[in-house]
Amino acid sequence: MTDIRELEAALVRHEHLAPDGEGLVEAAYAGARRVRRRRLAVTGLGVAAVVALGAVTPQVLDHLGDDGVRRAAGPAASKAPGVSVTSPPAVVVDVDRTEGFFPLEQGFSGTTSLASVRSNDQSRTGWGGNVGAYAPADVDMTAIEAGEAITVQGHPARYAENYLIDPAAYHEGPQNSWAPKPVRFDADGKPGRGTWQDRRAPVVAWRDSSGSWVVVSGTDRRTDLLRLAEAVRLRSTDARTPYRLGFVPDTLRLDFGGSNTHIPAQSNSVLVFGAAAHPVLKRSELGGMTEYGALRIQVSASDSGRTDIVARTGPPTVIAGHDTWYFTSPGGGLLPPQQGAILVTKVNGCEVQITTTDNNLVPRDTLHRILASATFGNCAAPETWTPPLS
């Protein structure tokens, strides 16, 4: 085992041992998020946190610090979000539930719609896989056409055994400064920082009537891959969140988003905005929605008790009627980026975290304005969610 992808594959193979049918991969991601949220900066937690955080979270160990807020050179620019940021794809990847499949996570990366699919009947269908709906420019047509001609859902498709599903280039560049890093193990089995490698895998691919190329991956078993491909459905609809933003600085661009609504009472929604001056963040799977950028907005329905913890750190700052707490250094069980900050609040029973990795680009008053301009719905009722941007 040499990197996080192989670790993920190993966890998936044993996910039948995990509780609640969500699999060890998702449990690992969730556990790492809990560790990140609640880990206090004390030595006693260090050993247990190194592997979990190194495998599936941003560069937490590299970014410990007590830096305060840096003042921005000038006020954040303001434009209507629909003008200043990229809109999410208008297609959502879904699946037919008849075979027992369900979308654990649905979202997008740049112009690519993505879904992490799981199964309630693994003995018959396999554990699931990953599905992406790509723009033609993001597909290697030569590699796909070189694959075996097959039929999926009554239309022509290809089965390609060695497709470059996740290029190392996706994980390079300034837009990936806070992205999860791979772990490599030395001869003694000790984990350390690694570098991303091109990842190839068998895929089933076809062109949808919408013009998108659907690519199904995530399992080496051909029969399971074909069964999942038959269940894929594309829905023409916008990405949805339990809130609508009224303001986003024009120095930012919407790069990534996703939600897990499989259990409505535990729904989780994430949006990631990158710096407009950087390339767009690209991914071939949602990966537990652990991505970070210049701005990350996360809204969760489950009550972790975080606001009770942060409330003990001092009096709140009231913004638009909401009690908020702002952290630039470890506190309240939170670990902000070294040169960033986290704004925490609770709205309509939803836990809200707005995180920046760059206090120069997104200063405190900008975080306040983003929160004050947002309107929130019911995070535990996904059917009521709306597009996040006006």
CB-CB contact of 297 with 354 (8 Å)? yes
Provide the Cα torsion 75, 78, 81, 82; round to 10°. -150
More confident position, 220 or 67: 220
pLDDT of residue 75: 34
Residue type, 123: S
Against a cut of 0.85, is the pTM above it? Answer: no
pLDDT of residue 180: 78
CB-CB contact of 345 with 367 (8 Å)? no
Q: What is the DSSP string of 142-176?
A: HHHHTSEEEEETTEEEEEEEEEEEE-GGGG-SGGG
Farthest CA pair distance, the chain: 64
pLDDT digits (tens, 9 = 90+) for 54-84: 333 333 333 333 333 232 333 333 333 333 3
Give the Cα separation of 380 and 389 in Å (integer).
Answer: 20
CB-CB contact of 24 with 12 (8 Å)? yes
pLDDT of residue 125: 85
Cα atoms in the Cβ-side hemisphere of radius 13 Å centred on 48: 13
pLDDT, the chain, mean = 81
More confident position, 192 or 148: 148
Give the Cα separation of 276 and 256 in Å (integer).
Answer: 13
pLDDT of residue 124: 84
pLDDT of residue 344: 96
Phi-psi region of 196 (alpha: psi -120 to 50; beta: other; left: phi over 0): beta
Give the Cα separation of 120 and 126 in Å (integer).
Answer: 9
pLDDT digits (tens, 9 = 90+) for 301-331: 977 788 889 999 999 999 999 999 999 999 9
Residue type, 202: P
Asked if the 243-384 domain carries CATH number 3.40.1000, the reply is yes
Q: What one-character DSSP code corresponds to residue 280? A: P
Give the Cα separation of 335 and 332 in Å (integer).
Answer: 9
pLDDT digits (tens, 9 = 90+) for 77-107: 333 333 334 678 889 999 999 989 999 999 9
pLDDT of residue 107: 96
In order of 249, 308, 367, the CA distances from 325 in angstroms are 21, 11, 11
In DSSP terms, 243 is beta-bridged to 376
Does residue 167 carry a pLDDT above 60?
yes
Does residue 33 carry a pLDDT above 50?
no
User: In the chain, what percentage of residues exceed pLDDT 70?
Assistant: 78
More confident position, 379 or 17: 379
pLDDT of residue 306: 81
Does residue 5 carry a pLDDT above 70?
no
What is the mean pLDDT of the segment spanning 125-136? Answer: 94
pLDDT of residue 123: 83
3-state DSSP assignment of residue 276 = coil
Give the Cα separation of 263 and 73 in Å (integer).
Answer: 44
Give the Cα separation of 373 and 320 in Å (integer).
Answer: 8
pLDDT of residue 46: 32
pLDDT digits (tens, 9 = 90+) for 259-308: 999 999 999 999 999 999 999 999 999 999 999 999 999 999 977 788 88
pLDDT of residue 86: 64
Of 6-15, 105-114, 242-251, 345-354, give the lowest mean pLDDT range. Answer: 6-15
Domain ranges of the chain: 4-56, 89-178+195-236, 243-384
Helix (H) or strand (E) holding 324: strand 322-327
